[in-house]
Amino acid sequence: MPKNSKVVKRDLDDDVTESVKDLLSNEDTCDDAFKKSSLIVSNVPEKKDRDMEEGSLSDEERPAWNSKLQYILAQVGFSVGLGNVWRFPYLCQKNGGGAYLVPYLILLILIGIPLFFLELAVGQRIRRGSIGVWNYISPHLGGIGFASCMVCFFVALYYNVIIAWSLFYFSQSFQQPLPWHECPLVKNKTNTYVEPECEKSSATTYYWYRMTLDISNSISDSGGLNWRMSICLLAAWTMVCLAMIKGIQSSGKVMYFSSLFPYVVLICFLVRSLLLTGSVDGIRHMFTPKLEIMLEAKVWREAATQVFFALGLGFGGVIAFSSYNKRDNNCHFDAVLVSFINFFTSVLATLVVFAVLGFKANVMNTKCITLNTKKIVGLLGNAISPELIPPHIDLSNVSPEDYTQMIEIIRGVKESDYSLLGLDSCSIEDELNKAVQGTGLAFIAFTEAMTHFPASPFWSVMFFLMLVNLGLGSMFGTIEGIITPLVDTFRVRKEILTVVCCVSAFCIGLLFIQRSGNYFVAMFDDYSATLPLLVIVVLENVAVAWVYGMDKFFEDLKDMLGFSPFRFYYYMWKYITPTVLLVLLMASMIQLGMTPPSYSAWIEELAQERSRSYPAWGLAVCVSLVVMAILPVPVVLALRYFNLLDESAGGFSSVSYRKGRIIKDTAAPDDDNASLIHGKSPCSEAPSPVPGSIYRKQSAGLDADITPNGRYGIGYLMANMPDMPESDL
């Protein structure tokens, strides 16, 4: 990366160091030879051949955020997504409750904040999308940017399907009672009965699998398109396209609502749920620490994975958003702020989820007690002696405490015969231990809890509108991770590229709204992002710390921020973070190798989920997703290694010159303080050169200059020569 230096050292015969001011003041700008040697930068985006210090496009200014708040909201909206609501609470419950927060915080500091800071810094410094950034840092590792775009596209395909599901539930919430409040009745000529599939499961489960997805029994049975979901998916992609069509100028304004509204809903839900019976039981269960679980390696692996994905690392969205920042923006502060906002959002969502689930557990426990009490009344005088019932217990209205006392007495007397009574186990703890995540939490458990809320349609509308906004915030960053690198690289119109991307994604996304579509969503979620993103972030870390060089990167940060970052980051980036990432990558590969690829199929006849293995073509698709996402990295590396891809290929920049000769220069790799000549003579009525650009007087020898990163240099022979045709480097 170039350094923001205002003084360029040059070794002359007398070892004199001249400042920019001296060079400019001594230059005869109207000299004929000077005019003939002017360098013209053509109307295409620049590569590292121009000093990236100015960071602007030659024909127009790079878009910028309207305010710092808008930028922070964009980063928060991208990093805070559906996973914070339906993944983090599940992991917290599964891995030790409150104790899980300890490894999560440790790993957030060890890998989360350093990697987030790294992506913010390179994007802000180089002012390009992921393709331009990694091609600039190391052309041989330029495939990292293309791999990020591939992963973003894969994720966008199925992530917007989840938004479509949320839109469907949102549209169905304007009813009293809610349509998933109870099982539907089936009428025939003789009688009326409850739908068998619903009776075997539950009203919300039936509504999700049958009414919403109309799911098939296996991934091999496509079952045709679900037309209602097709309309919702079209609406979801239309919203994304309209919000992104003008880049950050349009999406930035949407961020004020899409990023802030979920917090309003979460706080409202928390206040409302705390007023419900049993909410405290859920929160107590959530944060009761199980310290012994912290010693298990699996807990740390899952915490590291959650940190990694919660911040959106490797997607390119973080880099794309930060590339529209001012050069002197304090991205270190941004990294710490957004990381902890993300963490506290996860904790807030966890409080809300378990307060609601605590209320639901109490409702289910009350139903269980009522059902068992009726069974006990029927068994009195036969299997159960009336004398076993304490006299103070009113069997017409049994409280949970009285029920517990009564059951303990009956169990103590009956002992081995207790199981023959057919009494169900009624326990709030058992209900809360039924861990659910993902769509099972949002579309089944949470919707069931909301049916017991007073004014349940209002809360259902708010909840699913919140899910839509959480999803859109993440989608904006994901699409930006595709659009920005491609626009920077190939100079296509952003509006056209955005429309083409959204239309293509909608057409491919029809795969996910077949009756078997939910199985493909699970497949893409498991295999298109996890391993590829880990590989991408490992390579990003290595590219900056070991290829570009930590000392040089720290100098760039000091020059950009105005202060040197803590030395903590030096050792994190160079040693600790890549080591942790490699261990995490190996652990993930071992887990995938030990766990045969499978999916959970909904069996209509049983009204239950069953684990099934993928067919042969399904395994091929799983492998293809991983390979296709990572493939750009070795392909670009091979093309660079065998010189099959020119350094300037890809359209990053094109420099034209007139009446001058450009020669290759073999500059020392470390000499990266010089900047390129770019501008015209003031006598030609062109704008004056920007600060930091240098006009050198002719000298007897060849004047050589080098590119900002000091690896590939271009020398300029400032001589009075005949006209030469324009050419591109």
E strand or H helix at 192, and its extent?
A: strand 192-194
Q: Which residue has the tokens 């509108």?
A: 465
Annotated binding site for Na(+), which residues? 77, 80, 84, 342, 470, 474
Distance CA 39, CA 676 (A): 10
Q: Taking a C-beta distance cutoff of 8 angstroms, is the pair 609, 601 a contact? A: yes
Distance CA 484, CA 505 (A): 17
Using DSSP bridges, classify how beta strands 192-194 and 185-187 pair: parallel, antiparallel or unpaired.
antiparallel
**Closest to 679 (Cα-Cα) out of 25, 63, 53, 37:** 37
- Rounded to 5°, the CA angle 161-165-166 comes to 115
337: Cα within 13 Å, side-chain hemisphere: 14
Distance CA 536, CA 632 (A): 11
The one-letter amino acid at 494: K
Residue 629, classed as helix, strand or coil, is helix
**Closest to 130 (Cα-Cα) out of 562, 547, 626, 650:** 650
**Closest to 543 (Cα-Cα) out of 14, 249, 552:** 552
Distance CA 526, CA 374 (A): 45
The two tokens of residue 370 are 């009522």
Check residue 11 and report its DSSP letter. Answer: -
**Closest to 527 (Cα-Cα) out of 393, 442, 622:** 622
Annotated binding site, which residues? 77, 80, 84, 342, 470, 474
The one-letter amino acid at 428: I
Q: Taking a C-beta distance cutoff of 8 angstroms, is the pair 435, 144 a contact? A: no
Check residue 112 and report its DSSP letter. Answer: I
Distance CA 302, CA 588 (A): 10
**Torsion 159-162-168-172 (CA) sign:** negative
